[in-house]
Chains A and B, each alone.
Chain A
Amino acid sequence: MKEIYFDQLQETLYSETLENGLQVYILPKKGFNKTYATFTTKYGSVDNHFTPLGASEPVKVPDGIAHFLEHKLFEKEDRDVFQDFSKQGASANAFTSFTRTAYLFSSTTNVQQNLETLMDFVQAPYFTEETVEKEKGIIGQEIEMYDDNPDWRVYFGVIENMFHHHPVKIDIAGTVSSISDITKDDLYTCYETFYHPSNMLLFVVGNIDPPEIMKFIKSNQSAKEFEPPSKIERYFDNEPPEVAKKKSVIKMTVQTPKCMVGYKQASPGRFGDERLKYELGMNLLLDYLFGQSSTNYESLYSEGLIDQSFSFDYTEETDFGFSLLGGDTTDPDLLAERITEMIEAEKTKGIDSSAIDRLKKKKIGSFLRSMNSPEYIANQFTRFQFGDMNLFNVVEMYDKITIKDLENILLEHFNPKAFTSCQVRPKKA
C-alpha cells in the first residue's frame, strides 16, 4: 500500500492497484462521522461507439445507455439495492457524466458492510427484458423533468451548437425515443466492456483505518473472477475545430431570458500535468476576465446584463473541451456581444499580474475549503485521476502558472471561429 503525506493539507492518502487492475484510494478524515465511498467506471454518455469485449467489430449503441445502465444496476433478481443500503443506515446514489459513471454511498455506521454492498452490486449485473421495460417509464420522466428546466436546456443547447459529430452533444440521458430501443443485451454488452476493474476506481474517505479497509477491499476483490484486462477501443469521428452552429434560440415558458456562450477547445487531448496546468490556468483566466472582482463583471452587472446566476466553467476531457459563460439576462444578444467584445479587448491589454496573484490566493483558499467536503474530494480526485492528474497537486501547480501561460491560453482558446451562443427566450404570453 502506497502512502503519500501532503504537508500543507495535513492529509495522508493511501493507495494500491489491485491484481485485477482496480485502483483503490483511501483518505482518512479524523473527527468526521461520515464515510463516503465512490466506485467509478471510466464510461459515460460519449462512449457510444466501441468494440465490445471479445468482439472484433465495433458497435454503436442507443443514446442514453450509460445512464440507463446506471439505473438498472441497482435492481437485482430478488431485491433493490437501495434497500440494502438503507437497512445498513447508508444513503446510496449514482450519477452519469459525459465520461464517467459513479456509484456511491455515505453512512455513519456499518462502513465495511456498505462497502461490500457497493462493490458487490456494481459487480453483479442482473437485467431482464421486463425490468428494462419498466425503467423506461421512470427515465422518461427524468428526461421530461430536464426538458422543462431552462438552465439545462441552454447548457446543452450551447454544447450542441459547438459539435458537428462528437457525442458530447447528445443529452446524457438520451431521449424518450432513443431509450425505447435499449434492450437487456445492449446493457450486458456495455457492462462487460466498461465495468472491468481495470477501468474503475474506488475511493473511500472518512473516519476509517486505511490498512484495515484496504485489506477488506482486497479480500472482496480477490474472491471474484474477472477476464484479464484488455484495452478498450472507443471511436470518435473527426471533429473540426470550428463550431457547427453560431447561434440558437429556444422558446420556453420562462419569465427571464437566458444566454450561454461558449468557446470550443480546438486542441484537446492533454494528459497529466499538462492538462492540470492548462485546466487550472483556464479557470484562473476565466476568473480574471469575468470573476466578481473583474471590471468586466462590474460593467455587465451595472449595465443590467447579468445577475448572481452568471457563471463560467471550463471542461476538458480526452476528446473534447469547451469554456462556457452565461446566466439569466434581460438581453441575450447584447450579453453575447459584450462578452466577445470584452475578450477581444483583453487580448491587446496584457494581463495584470497583481490581479493574478490575488486570484491565485483565492483559488488556493477555495481549494482548502473544499477539503472539508468528502464528496468533493472523492468525486474530483477520481475525475483528476482518470486524466492522469493528481488532485493534491493543485496548490503546487497554481504556483507554477505564469502570466505568459495565461496569455497563451487567452490567444489560443478564445478564437472567434470557436464561439457560439444559445439563448432561452420566453414564449409570448
Chain B
Amino acid sequence: MTKTKAPRVIPFDGYTLHLIETEKYKTTTFSIQIKRKIEEKDVTKRALLSQVLKAGTKSYPSSLHIHRLLEEMYGAGFVTSVGKKGEYQIITIRMDVSNEKFLLDQTPLLEQSLSFLAEVLLHPLNDGNKFEESNVNKEKRVLKQKIQSIYDDKMRFANKRLIEEMFKGNRYALHAFGNEEEVDSITSEELFAYYQDVIEHDEIDIYVVGDIDGDRVMETFESKFPLSTRNHDHNPSVPPLNRKEKEKVIYDEQDVKQGKLHMGYRTSITFSDPEYFAVQVFNGIFGGFSHSKLFINVREKASLAYYAVSRIESHVGAIFVMSGIEFKNYDQAVSIIREQMDKMKNGDISVGELEQTKEMLRNQILESVDNPNSWVDLLYNSKMSGVERSIDDWLEGIQAVTMEDVIDAAATISLDTIYFLKGEGQE
C-alpha cells in the first residue's frame, strides 16, 4: 500500500521547512519560496535576481556547467521564476529529481540536489561586491524579452492591462516581471546588495515532497542551509477597496483579429476568510467550469466565443472574466456576462448547478495532491494567507457551502473595470 504522512512543518533559523513524505511519486520535488511585499522601487530588480540566481554559482559558474550537472543527475529539473501572490512578489526556486530507488546505479541524488540548491541560494557567482557582470548582462536581455512577450500574447496582455487599470495606485498593479525600461539601469553591485538584503530578511519557505526519509532530510538542511533568524509580520493585508462610483471602461486598440474582453470584479472575501469556500463555489457556478453560466450562455447558447471563463485572484479579492470575441459582439457579450452576474446575485441558481460545482471542486482538490507542484502550491497559499487548512478542511469546507452562502458571497461582488482590446479603427 502506498503511504502518505501528514505534512510536517519544521521551523529553522531563517526559514521554515515543510516535509511531505509520500510514496506516490517517482521523484523528489524541492520548492523554495522567497517572499517580500512588492515594492515599486525594487520590482524589476527582484525579477532580474530570480533570473541571475540560475545563471551561475561558485562551483558551477555558468549555465553550461549547471546544465551538465543536472544532466549527470539523471536530468534533474531546475527552474527559477518570479510571480505575484496578492501583494507579494515571490521568487521560486524549484528542482525535481528522480528517486534513486528507480535507478540502476545508486547515485545519491537527494544529497546532490540539496547541495546544489544551497549553492544557488547562498553562493551565487559573485566577487563579494557584485554578481558576475556577463551573467547579469545576459539575464537583463532575457528579462526584457520576457516582459515583451507579455505584449505578444494578447490574452496575457489584456490581463495585465486590466489589472493595471483596476488596481491603479495600488502595489498590486505592478507586474511581477517589472518594467522593461528599468532593466538596463540596474547595476551588478546594486543587484548584489539587494540579494544580500533578500537572504538576510525575506521570509523563506522550503518544501520537499517525495518518498524521503524526513529525519535525514532535516539533518541535511540543518547543516547545509545556515540562515539568520528574522521576524515577519504574519498579518496578510488586502489592498484597500477604493470602491468606484461607476465602473471604469477601458479600450485599447491593436491590429488583432480577435477582441479580448476582460472584466474585473471585486469582492471583500479573500483566501484567509471562512467565506472563501463560498466564493470558490460562486466562481465555479459563474465561470470556472464547462457547466458554468458563462460557458453555457456566452459560448454554447450565443456562439460568441471559444472560451468564456472566470477565475479568482484569491489573495486580493478579485474575480476576472476572460473571453475572446468578435469586435462587433462587444455589447452583446458584455450584456450576457452582466446578466449572468445578476442571476448569481438574485439566487437564480439551480440545486444541480450548486451540487455539480461542489463535486467538481472536490475533484480539483483531490487531483491537486496527485501532482507535487500543485500540492506545494496549495500548502503555500494556505501558509501565506495565515490560515492553514488540511486537504480534509478543504473538502469539508466546500461540502458545507449552501445556496445561501453562495448568494451572500455574490452580494460582496461588484463590477469594477471592463477592459476591451479591439482592432484598430473598430467601432
A interface list, Cβ under 8 A from B: 8-10, 30-34, 80, 82-83, 86-92, 106-109, 134-139, 141-142, 144-145, 147-150, 253-256, 291-293, 295, 297-298, 301-302, 304, 307-309, 328, 330, 358-359, 361-366, 368-369, 371-374, 427
Contacts and interface: CB of A to CB of B under 8 A. Distances in A.
Given A144-B258, A293-B64, A91 B289 contact: yes
Contacts of A308: 142, 146
A91 B363 contact: yes
B122 interface: no
Contacts of B291: 82-83, 86-87
B414 interface: no
A364 B74 contact: yes
Contacts of B134: 302
Given A33-B367, A148-B154, A291-B67, A366 B256 contact: no
A118 B23 CA distance: 30
B304 A141 contact: yes
Contact of B72 (A89, A92, A291, A361): A361
A149 B306 CA distance: 15
A335 to B, nearest CB: 13
Given A145-B258, A301-B63, A362-B70, A108 B363 contact: yes
21 contacts: A30-B2, A32-B24, A83-B290, A86-B356, A89-B362, A137-B303, A254-B151, A254-B152, A255-B148, A255-B149, A255-B151, A256-B145, A293-B67, A302-B134, A304-B138, A308-B142, A361-B72, A362-B74, A365-B73, A365-B75, A368-B26
A10 to B, nearest CB: 7
B364 to A, nearest CB: 8
Contact of A134 (B22, B77, B254, B303): B303
B257 A369 contact: no
A8 to B, nearest CB: 6
Contacts of A8: 102, 104
Given A148-B154, A364-B75, 11 more contacts: A33-B366, A86-B356, A86-B359, A86-B360, A145-B307, A253-B255, A293-B64, A297-B64, A301-B63, A361-B75, A372-B372
Given A256-B148, A368-B27, A109 B359 contact: yes
A147 B154 CA distance: 11
B126 interface: no
Contacts of B63: 292, 298, 301
Among the interface residues B2, B289, B360, which one has the most CB atoms of the partner chain A within 10 A? B360
Contacts of A30: 1-2
Contact of B145 (A137, A307, A363, A427): A307
A147 B98 contact: no
Given A138-B299, A145-B306, A256-B145, A302 B138 contact: yes
B369 interface: yes
A31 B290 contact: no
A253 B256 contact: yes
Contacts of A34: 366-367, 370
B420 to A, nearest CB: 14
Among the interface residues A34, A86, A150, which one has the most CB atoms of the partner chain B within 10 A? A86
A117 to B, nearest CB: 14
Contact of A32 (B27, B154, B257, B370): B370
B142 A80 contact: no
Interface string B346-386: 00000010001001101100110111100000000000000
Among the interface residues A109, A362, A369, which one has the most CB atoms of the partner chain B within 10 A? A369
Contacts of A292: 63-64, 67
Contact of B102 (A32, A109, A138, A368): A368
B114 interface: no
B74 A141 contact: no
B71 A107 contact: no
Interface in B15-44: 22-27
B359 A148 contact: no
B284 to A, nearest CB: 10
Interface string B147-171: 0110111100000000000000000
Contacts of B49: none
Contacts of B366: 33-34, 108
B412 interface: no
B210 to A, nearest CB: 10
Nearest to B258: A144
Nearest to B352: A87
Contact of B77 (A142, A293, A369): A369
A108 B367 contact: yes
Contacts of B244: none
A358 B22 contact: no
B111 interface: no
Given A141-B326, A359-B71, A372-B26, A90 B96 contact: no
B339 to A, nearest CB: 19
Contact of B306 (A33, A141, A374): A141
Given A80-B300, A86-B360, A301-B63, A328 B255 contact: no
B322 to A, nearest CB: 11
B141 interface: yes
A138 B68 CA distance: 47
A330 B142 CA distance: 11
Interface in B323-355: 324-326, 352
A424 B362 CA distance: 43
A171 to B, nearest CB: 14
Contact of A138 (B4, B306, B369, B372): B306
A138 B303 contact: yes
Nearest to A147: B257
A90 B356 CA distance: 10
B26 A141 contact: no
B212 interface: no
Contacts of A148: 154, 256-258
Contact of B152 (A109, A147, A255, A372): A255
Contacts of A83: 290-291, 356
A361 B146 CA distance: 31
A90 B24 contact: no
B305 interface: yes
A299 to B, nearest CB: 10
B138 to A, nearest CB: 6
B62 interface: yes
A396 to B, nearest CB: 12
B183 interface: no
Nearest to B255: A253
A72 to B, nearest CB: 12
B255 to A, nearest CB: 5
